[in-house]
A and B are shown apart, each in its own frame.
Chain A
């Protein structure tokens, strides 16, 4: 089975990021990592591969530095990696990302000489959080898509997945090829071993340029324009209620809530 996992390199999401003097996210000096949901996707894909068979390829669109994210993936289950150099692709929104990825899929399939059976994406990225790229990629490829899955198994030549929803879970079966986007499953991504980490450094990463993709220029014009960015408002200092009795404290709290028109 041929599996592709799409991976984006993002700023470490455990670091709080503000805006710099020119109003852009101040990400200088912040460690770049593979998007958390993509690492969940890779772990799920790796478990599926281990339980059955197959090879996992990872792909990222990004700068040269994004190879680091791919290398970390090569240490925990992936055996091939491609980077799509972002030069000339301009500012990307989820629509152009989905389109560009679909072109990358075609290119990698051509290079590998095999079609992908399952394409895994994270359900969203921790930096942009649009949650749309997986679905758009599936649309461009003209194949099915199940979003927000937390479990997967092979069934009758297709897949059966557990999709997490606001209310509970759906069990969805679909034929292949298909795109799935992955939510946080019940398990954590594995740690690389010292050995796999060193071996991963030696695996060459395939380079794909804009020209290799054959993207049409009018399809990589972003539809979304970012007008401005702002930081979330700072948390206001709270109000201390210090009445003598519990009853008075409650009454005061209710009064404040009423004044704030909470109810």
Chain B
């Protein structure tokens, strides 16, 4: 349950209608083919969904975090791949704001408002959980930075209009030698590598992004040299609560599908929903989902209030990711053999749910963050 004002309710009903009519059914086909749903994304861009987090000062709609959370849940309910594309696109503005690069943030905001996409390139073949182990280099030369390296698992990698890229400006300094850059699509030396053939969220685009002697102007550096790791981590701290909401959307869809099915499937002369065994499963699914929703909202609310939120964001993302998988498994169980069939929507929900335990920091890494916050240094 979201507590929204009239404006928020209005936006929610608009997004809900759009997702019902333009996303939910359409995604079935793209889940199979793994192709880019051009028309769907075009319409979403026109509607402004690529830019729902853009603050008013950059020409965005400037809605509250609670409101955009409600909108994101609708998107994730319809299709978690669609949600991922939109959430990551919106995320890419954060490092520019954190790094106090108003000029670049404005540029990026204009792109998003016009239906364009951003990508956030941190992960590398040898740097996933250990993001500090970036091998990509950025060498300053004649007033320019020259980047070399390979990023992998980059959401929107093949479709982005701009990229936020981390690279080592000073290898000797470890994480303190990592910097963040703003890179425009079409920069010579930038290319899109292998596209992942994924288990789930197949309507999102995930690719390698490769830099070969890619030159970018000096002022594409976000913040100072050495700020890159900090900027990336702060970005993820903020974005994790949104990922929690995405997982909640998948879990909610599981509940919706399971409830509808349990009222209609008859065994032993009555709908299976009349069996307490099924009722209690649904109750547990609801307990988990609503708890995850409120935890995610709480983490966002802390951001609103300017209070520390890193631990709560990690809890939200971790818990929501875990329960989304559990709830998806339960939904399949409630649908029995039909749940296991590709003819029914719930097997896709399990494949989609799984990503929430992996990206933007695996749930083991979230637990590391949380335990560190709980235990402190000792």
Chain A interface (Cβ < 8 Å from any Cβ of B): 71, 191-195, 197-198, 201
Contacts and interface: CB of A to CB of B under 8 A. Distances in A.
Contacts of A71: 10
B48 A193 contact: yes
B52 A194 contact: yes
A89 B14 CA distance: 32
A194 B43 contact: no
Interface of B: 6-7, 10-11, 14, 17-18, 22, 43, 46-49, 51-52, 61, 63
Q: What 8 A-B pairs come out closest when comparing CB atoms?
A: A194-B48, A193-B48, A194-B61, A193-B47, A191-B47, A197-B14, A191-B18, A195-B48
B18 A197 contact: no
A193 B46 contact: yes
Contacts of B10: 71, 197, 201
A198 B54 CA distance: 14
A191 B14 contact: yes
A156 B306 CA distance: 62
B14 A201 contact: no
A192 B7 CA distance: 14
Contact of B43 (A191, A197, A198, A201): A191
A198 B18 CA distance: 16
Nearest to B52: A194
A153 to B, nearest CB: 24
Nearest to A194: B48
Nearest to A200: B10
Contacts of B46: 191, 193
Contacts of A197: 10-11, 14
Contacts of A194: 11, 14, 47-49, 51-52, 61, 63
6 contacts: A71-B10, A191-B46, A193-B46, A193-B48, A194-B14, A194-B52
B14 A198 contact: no
A194 B46 CA distance: 9
B14 to A, nearest CB: 6
Contact of B7 (A191, A193, A195, A201): A201
For the residues of B in contact with A, the DSSP-based class is helix
B60 to A, nearest CB: 9
B7 A198 contact: yes
B69 to A, nearest CB: 15
B21 to A, nearest CB: 9
A195 B61 contact: yes
A192 B43 CA distance: 11
A192 B14 contact: yes
| Best-buried of B22, B46, B48 by chain A (most CB within 10 Å) | B48
A201 B63 CA distance: 14
Contacts of B14: 191-192, 194, 197
Contacts of A192: 14, 47
Nearest to A193: B48
Given A71-B10, A195-B48, A201-B6, 9 more contacts: A191-B46, A191-B47, A194-B48, A194-B49, A194-B61, A195-B61, A197-B10, A198-B7, A201-B7
A201 B11 CA distance: 11
A201 B14 CA distance: 13
A173 B352 CA distance: 55
B91 to A, nearest CB: 17
Contacts of B17: 191
A197 B47 CA distance: 10
A191 B13 CA distance: 11
B129 to A, nearest CB: 35
A71 B7 CA distance: 11
Nearest to B49: A194
A252 to B, nearest CB: 30
A192 B10 CA distance: 11
B61 A198 contact: yes
A71 B51 CA distance: 22
Contacts of B61: 194-195, 198
Contacts of B6: 201
Contacts of B7: 198, 201
A197 B46 CA distance: 13
A69 B357 CA distance: 42
A152 to B, nearest CB: 23
Nearest to A192: B14
Contacts of B52: 194
A121 to B, nearest CB: 24
Nearest to A201: B7
A200 to B, nearest CB: 9
A191 B18 CA distance: 8
B50 to A, nearest CB: 10
A197 B49 CA distance: 12
A198 B10 CA distance: 8
Nearest to A68: B10
Contacts of A193: 46-48
A103 B79 CA distance: 49
Contacts of A198: 7, 11, 61, 63
A45 to B, nearest CB: 19
